């Protein structure tokens, strides 16, 4: 019956030792991350090849390697900046989704649910109607709007602690209110502004460049220590509250930290690329299905988010060329059916309670 000596380490993990340190590495998750990285690299090259004029992959690689090439302008100046925004925003959305879904313990949750997207939307559209249209200011407006909305949700949801269920419900309520506010601005505003607002609200990478990419990249660099903390903290949140507490987790603090990270990432990504639908919802779930880990994998979520954005924008640029679609249309086209499938599946498994 008993098999002493076997299973000296958790199934599927390798132990990595370095000096006195020892780390558990999930083998499948590592493999998946490597594979996603490879697929992403191929996608990046394809993205840079395709456009109004086709550039050969060899030339793209030359430009990426910093060598002189006749296509340097098209690849390096026209396509690269836009792709950089897409990749960074996608990764940020993926991570934000992972954090929000972890805290809400619900695969249907995403930054939309906690008010970030609609807060950013309402603030941006409001500023547009008041005549502020500069690409340099609007991202910051979106960030502030998103954070303000999330704070509001947090304050209302707090009652001697934070319960996941109440948090989600209040988030949905505030999102709906902010959504109506946005529509009010769009309908009341000037025709041109309304047009511009609509495009922004769908989420588009058109005209985005290093102005948006650089702040986003810097922020993600600054957040690396926080992300390392989150990677460990987030594991412990996959238990119920009582079990997690019994294992010594400071639930309130961990929840607040993870949500704050999610809100910052989602707000900044929304500021850069607009509220691109469903990326934050899709990426963590796809990544988890691939890695089969007991929690949402962070590296996988970030890579999947970046991959979705790059692929979606590639299609958005090429599908009805020369007409360019906003990238949000593409992600919604894929995301909406997936969301429905997820709801149906959750219902049949647990009677809708999550």
Partner 1 sequence: MTGNRLRAEGLVLTYDNRTVVDGLDLEIPDGRVTVIIGPNACGKSTLLRALGRLLKPRRGTVLLDGAELSRIPTKQVAQKIGLLPQTPVPPEGITVSELVTRGRQPHHKWWQQWTEADEKAVSEAMERTATGDLADRPVDELSGGQRQRAWIAMALAQDTDLLLLDEPTTYLDIAHQVEVLDLVRQLNRERGRTVVAVLHDLNQAARYADHLIAMKTGRIVAQGPPSDVITADLVHEVFGLTSVVVPDPVTGSPLVVPGAPWQHG
Stretch that binds partner 1, among 7-15, 47-55, 80-88, 212-220 (CB under 8 A): 7-15
Residue 243 makes contact with partner 1 by CB under 8 A: yes
Which ranges constitute the DSSP H helices of the chain? 27-49, 57-64, 72, 80-104, 116-129, 138-157, 164-188, 191-202, 210-222, 224-236, 241-246, 251-273, 279-291, 298-318, 327-350
Interface with partner 1 (CB under 8 A), residue from 106, 133, 293, 346: 293
Site track 9-28 with partner 1 (rule: CB under 8 A), x = hit: xxxxx-x----xxxxx----
Q: Cβ(45)–Cβ(56) under 8 Å? A: no
Residues 353, 289: Cα–Cα separation, whole Å:
21
Residue 295 makes contact with partner 1 by CB under 8 A: yes
Residue 58 makes contact with partner 1 by CB under 8 A: no
Q: Which is nearer to partner 1, 29 or 83 (CB)?
A: 29
Total chain residues near partner 1 (CB under 8 A): 37
β-bridge partners, 15: 24
Interface of this chain with partner 1, residues 202 to 231, rule: CB under 8 A: 228
β-bridge partners, 300: none
Q: Which two tokens stand for residue 333?
A: 């086209």
Closest CB 3 distance from partner 1, rounded Å:
4
Give Cα separations from 235 to 10, 108, 224, 279, 346 (angstroms): 15, 19, 17, 22, 22
Residue 67 makes contact with partner 1 by CB under 8 A: no
Closest CB 2 distance from partner 1, rounded Å:
5
Closest CB 40 distance from partner 1, rounded Å:
25
Please state the three-class secondary structure of 118-161 as a single string.
Answer: HHHHHHHHHHHHCCCCCCCCHHHHHHHHHHHHHHHHHHHHECCC
Q: Which is nearer to partner 1, 140 or 229 (CB)?
A: 229
Closest CB 332 distance from partner 1, rounded Å:
27
Q: Within 10 Å of residue 158's Cβ, how many Cβ atoms? A: 15
Residue 348 makes contact with partner 1 by CB under 8 A: no
Residue 4 makes contact with partner 1 by CB under 8 A: yes
**Interface with partner 1 (CB under 8 A):** 1-13, 15, 20-24, 228, 232, 236, 238-240, 242-243, 245-250, 292-295
């Amino acid at each position: 019956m008993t098999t002493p000596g076997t299973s000296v380490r958790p199934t599927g993990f390798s132990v990595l030792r370095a000096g006195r340190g020892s780390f558990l590495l999930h083998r499948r998750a590592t493999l998946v991350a490597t594979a996603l990285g490879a697929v992403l690299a191929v996608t990046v090259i394809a993205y840079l090849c395709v456009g109004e004029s086709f550039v050969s992959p060899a030339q793209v690689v030359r430009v990426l390697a910093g060598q002189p090439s006749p296509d340097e302008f098209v690849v390096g100046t026209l396509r690269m900046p836009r792709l950089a925004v897409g990749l960074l925003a996608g990764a940020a959305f993926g991570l934000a989704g992972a954090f929000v879904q972890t805290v809400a313990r619900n695969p249907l949750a995403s930054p939309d649910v906690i008010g970030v997207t609609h807060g950013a939307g309402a603030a941006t559209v409001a500023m547009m109607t008041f005549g502020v249209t500069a690409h340099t200011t609007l991202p910051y407006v979106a960030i502030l709007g998103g954070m303000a909305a999330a704070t509001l949700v947090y304050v209302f949801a707090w009652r001697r602690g934070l319960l996941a269920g109440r948090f989600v419900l209040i988030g949905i309520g505030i999102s709906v209110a902010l959504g109506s506010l946005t529509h009010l601005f769009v309908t009341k505003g000037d025709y041109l502004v309304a047009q511009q607002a609509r495009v922004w609200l769908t989420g588009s990478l058109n005209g985005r460049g290093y102005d948006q990419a650089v702040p986003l990249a810097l922020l993600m660099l600054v957040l690396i220590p926080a992300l390392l903390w989150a990677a460990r903290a987030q594991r412990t949140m996959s238990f119920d509250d009582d079990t997690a507490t019994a294992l010594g987790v400071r639930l309130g603090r961990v929840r607040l930290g993870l949500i704050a990270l999610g809100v910052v990432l989602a707000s900044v990504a929304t500021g850069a690329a607009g509220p691109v639908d469903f990326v934050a919802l899709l990426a963590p779930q796809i990544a988890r299905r691939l890695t089969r880990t007991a929690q949402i994998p962070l590296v996988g979520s970030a890579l999947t988010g970046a991959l979705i954005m790059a692929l979606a924008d590639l299609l958005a640029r090429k599908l009805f060329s020369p007409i360019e679609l906003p990238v949000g249309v593409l992600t919604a086209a894929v995301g909406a059916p997936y969301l429905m499938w997820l709801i149906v599946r959750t219902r049949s498994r647990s009677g809708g309670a999550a």
